[in-house]
Amino acid sequence: MSVAEVRAAGGAGQTIELPRSGLPGGGAGEAWKVIVQNDSHNTFDHVARTLARVLPGVSVERGHAFADQIHHRGLAIVWSGHREAAELYWEELRAAGLTMAPLERA
C-alpha cells in the first residue's frame, strides 16, 4: 500500500487493522515499514516518549523529530526491518494509543 493509499484508507484519526499475508509466514524475511499517522488526540511528547520507549535506537530527541514529521506530513515511517519485529513494534505503538497505518513492505 502506498503512502497515498494509507492516507485515503485511514484518514488522520483512524487506526487501521494490521494486515495479514495470504500464507503463514509469508514475507517474513523481507523488510517491513512501521508507519505512524497524525491524529488529534496524541501530544508531541507522548508520541516522542512512546517511540523512544518502544523502538530500539530512538531517543526522545529523535522521537520529537518523528512527531514533528508526523504532524507536518501526516505520517512517518518510524522503523523498518524484519516482519516479526515490525509486527511487535506496531502492536506496542498501537497499544500505547498511537494511530498506526497498516504494515507495508519496504
Query: Where are the chain's structural domains?
Result: 3-7+30-105
Phi, psi values for residue 79, rounded to 5°: -160, 150
Model confidence pLDDT, tens digit, residues 23-63: 344 555 689 999 999 999 999 999 999 999 999 999 999 99
Strands (E), the chain: 31-37, 75-82, 99-100, 104-105
Query: What was the pLDDT predicted at 93?
Result: 98
- Please state, in angstroms and rounded to a whole number, the distance separating the CA atoms of residues 5 and 104: 11
Model confidence pLDDT, tens digit, residues 66-103: 999 999 999 999 999 999 999 999 999 999 999 999 99
Domain spanning 3-7+30-105: CATH 3.90.1150.10? no
